C-alpha cells in the first residue's frame, strides 16, 4: 500500500499509541493489534508513533491510545506491582475518554480483582467494574460473538479465568460460538467509555476493523476535535476491506 500524503507543513497529525508491558504481556500476537492501529492510521493519512511501557519505565506523557495484551500467569505476577503504581494514571485516562484496548490478561487486571482457584486474591486496578475467578478448566477455541456497536466479532480465546461483569460496565458482545467471559453467561468482553476489553486474540483488530477504527477515530477526535481522513488510495482501502471480510467469513466457518 502506498504511503500516506504528506501532512501540510506544520500541521500535526500524529497519534501516540502506547503498548503496555510488551515484554511480559504480549503472548498471543498482541503486537498485531498495535500494527493494525499504526497502519490504519497511516492509511487514513495520520502518523502513528508507537511507544512502549515496561516495568520500571517512566510513564510517557501525551498518550492518545493505549493497548494492553495477554500474558502468562508468571508475566502477570511480574507486572502486578508496577501496574498498581500506574493505576491512578490509567483510571484518570479512562475517565478522560482516552481510547484503550485491553486483551485477556490485562482485561482481567483492569478489573477489580483476580481470585485464583487456590483462593489467592490478586488486586486489579478497578478501571473496569468486573471480577475474575480462576478456574480449573481452560476455555480454548474459536469464538464468534455479536455486538450492536461493531457487528460480528471474530477471534480466538484461551483463558482459565472466568470473568463476571459488574453494573458499571456493559458487555462488548454476545457469544454465538465459544464461551467468552465465562462458561456461565453469554457475554464476551466489556465496554466502558472508550475502553474496549476482550478475551479474544487472533489478533483481534485485523479481522475486526470496526473496533480498530472506533479506537483510532476516538483518539483522533479527542486530540484534534474531529476525524478527517485523507486516504492516499481509496482502491487500496477497498481491497483491504474485502480481504478483512473474506478472512472473517472463512474464520466463521472453522470449528470451535
Query: Catalytic amino acids?
Result: 104, 201
In the complex with another protein, which residue's Cβ is closer, 116 or 158? 158
In the complex, minimum distance from the CB of residue 10 to another protein, in angstroms, rounded to a whole number: 27
Number of neighbouring beta carbons within 10 Å of residue 240: 15
Candidates 4-12, 133-141, 189-197, 227-235 — which segment interacts with another protein by CB under 8 A? 133-141
Span 39-78, contacts to another protein by CB under 8 A: 39, 52, 54, 72-74
For residues 82 and 217, what is the distance between their CA atoms, to the nearest angstrom? Answer: 29
Is residue 207 involved in binding another protein (CB under 8 A)?
Answer: yes
Residue listed under C-alpha cell 485485523? 206
CA 40/CA 109 separation, integer angstroms: 28
| Position among 15, 17, 32, 124 found at the interface with another protein (CB under 8 A) | 32
Assess 189 for contact with another protein (CB under 8 A).
no
d(CA 71, CA 92): 24
Q: Which of 12, 85, 88, 138 binds another protein (CB under 8 A)?
A: 138
CA distance 96 to 54: 23
Position 184 contacts another protein (CB under 8 A): no
Instruction: Write down the least CB distance from residue 155 to another protein, Å.
Output: 9
Which of 14, 31, 91, 210 binds another protein (CB under 8 A)? It is 31
Rounded CA separation 16/33 (Å): 14
According to CB under 8 A, which one of 15, 16, 18, 28 is a site residue for another protein?
28
Cα angle value 241/245/247 (rounded, 5°): 115
Beta bridge partners of 113: 123, 131
Q: Which is nearer to another protein, 82 or 94 (CB)?
A: 82
Identify whether the C-beta of residue 172 lies closer than 8 Å to the C-beta of residue 153: yes
CA-wise closest residue to 198 among 239, 244, 163: 163
Chain residues binding another protein by CB under 8 A are: 1, 22-23, 26-32, 35-36, 39, 52, 54, 72-74, 138, 140-142, 156, 158, 160, 201-203, 206-207, 239-240, 243-244, 246-247, 249-251, 254-255
Amino acid at each position: 500500500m502506498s504511503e500516506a500524503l504528506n501532512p501540510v507543513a506544520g500541521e500535526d497529525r500524529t497519534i501516540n499509541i502506547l503498548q503496555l508491558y510488551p515484554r511480559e504481556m504480549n503472548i498471543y500476537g498482541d503486537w498485531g493489534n498495535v500494527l493494525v492501529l499504526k497502519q490504519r492510521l497511516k492509511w487514513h493519512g495520520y502518523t502513528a508513533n508507537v511507544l512502549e511501557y515496561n516495568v520500571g519505565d517512566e510513564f510517557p506523557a501525551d498518550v492518545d491510545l493505549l493497548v494492553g495484551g495477554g500474558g502468562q500467569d508468571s508475566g502477570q505476577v511480574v507486572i502486578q506491582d508496577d501496574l498498581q503504581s500506574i493505576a491512578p494514571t490509567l483510571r484518570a485516562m479512562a475517565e478522560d475518554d482516552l481510547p484503550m484496548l485491553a486483551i485477556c490478561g490485562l482485561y482481567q487486571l483492569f478489573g477489580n480483582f483476580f481470585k485464583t482457584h487456590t483462593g489467592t486474591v490478586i488486586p486489579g486496578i478497578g478501571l473496569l467494574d468486573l471480577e475474575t475467578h480462576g478456574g480449573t478448566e481452560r476455555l480454548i477455541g474459536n469464538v464468534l460473538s455479536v455486538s450492536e456497536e461493531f457487528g460480528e466479532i471474530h477471534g480466538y480465546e484461551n483463558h482459565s479465568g472466568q470473568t463476571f461483569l459488574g453494573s458499571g460496565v456493559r458487555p462488548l458482545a454476545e457469544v454465538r460460538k465459544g464461551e467468552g467471559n465465562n462458561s456461565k453467561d453469554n457475554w464476551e468482553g466489556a465496554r466502558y467509555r472508550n475502553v474496549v476489553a476482550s478475551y479474544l486474540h487472533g489478533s483481534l483488530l485485523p479481522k475486526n476493523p470496526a473496533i480498530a477504527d472506533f479506537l483510532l477515530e476516538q483518539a483522533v477526535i479527542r486530540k484534534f476535535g474531529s476525524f478527517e481522513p485523507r486516504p492516499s488510495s481509496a482502491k487500496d482501502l477497498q481491497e483491504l476491506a474485502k480481504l478483512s471480510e473474506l478472512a472473517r467469513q472463512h474464520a466463521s466457518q472453522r470449528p470451535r
